[in-house]
A and B are shown apart, each in its own frame.
Chain A
């Protein structure tokens, strides 16, 4: 049972480039989400999904797209990277009940992204 996995662990992009951060979980969790963590800012929700085919925006969705074609995978796409997107990105998953995530979320190891 690998839990939540993320690739890559580190990435450097130039301004304007696009890329996809991968996230997968093997716990059959319905709820998945993406957060970004900046120094002194805690974790902020980017996008979330309550099941395959269903996604919605979080607090800071601009510049990011997501899709959820399977229960296991929830990739995050940066459309045109900007220096303001330099951050650590965490994917998380949990059980879901009545459209809400369970309070115990499982986080992946993170992707450290630098945009120059």
Chain B
């Protein structure tokens, strides 16, 4: 089967740094994406890693280790507006290169 594991919830304080981990077990791998979703609204794309290493986009960074089937999303200088659900998603070769989503991590940022 194909599965992604990520923590169900994480709590952090404003201004802190938080890391959300994602491990995956899939048949084939094109890359790892991260999406943010506020209160059941539309998921929005944050980042994508196809190769090993760190990708940085402003306060957000994403890391991938293909040999470990592992990635993480790093959020720095946390703000209240970062409170949301974060999904990792692996792009696999089958079914048109579909995205397989993890169950999501609910991040709560406290003052």
Contact = CB atoms under 8 A, between A and B. Distances in A.
Contacts of B40: 88, 110
B48 interface: yes
A53 interface: no
A7 to B, nearest CB: 14
Given A40-B103, A41-B103, A43-B101, A107 B42 contact: yes
A56 interface: yes
A104 B48 contact: yes
A88 to B, nearest CB: 6
A56 B97 CA distance: 12
A48 B102 contact: no
Interface in B62-94: 87, 89, 91, 93
B95 A42 contact: no
A51 B26 CA distance: 26
Given A42-B102, A43-B89, A103-B91, 13 more contacts: A42-B4, A42-B101, A45-B99, A48-B96, A48-B98, A100-B97, A101-B99, A103-B31, A103-B50, A104-B48, A105-B99, A106-B45, A110-B42
Q: Which 10 A-B pairs have the closest CB atoms?
A: A100-B97, A42-B101, A107-B42, A43-B101, A103-B48, A104-B45, A42-B103, A107-B43, A45-B98, A109-B42
Interface of A: 4, 31, 33, 35, 40-45, 48, 50, 56-59, 88, 90, 99-101, 103-110
Interface of B: 4, 8, 30-31, 33, 40-45, 48, 50, 87, 89, 91, 93, 95-99, 101-104
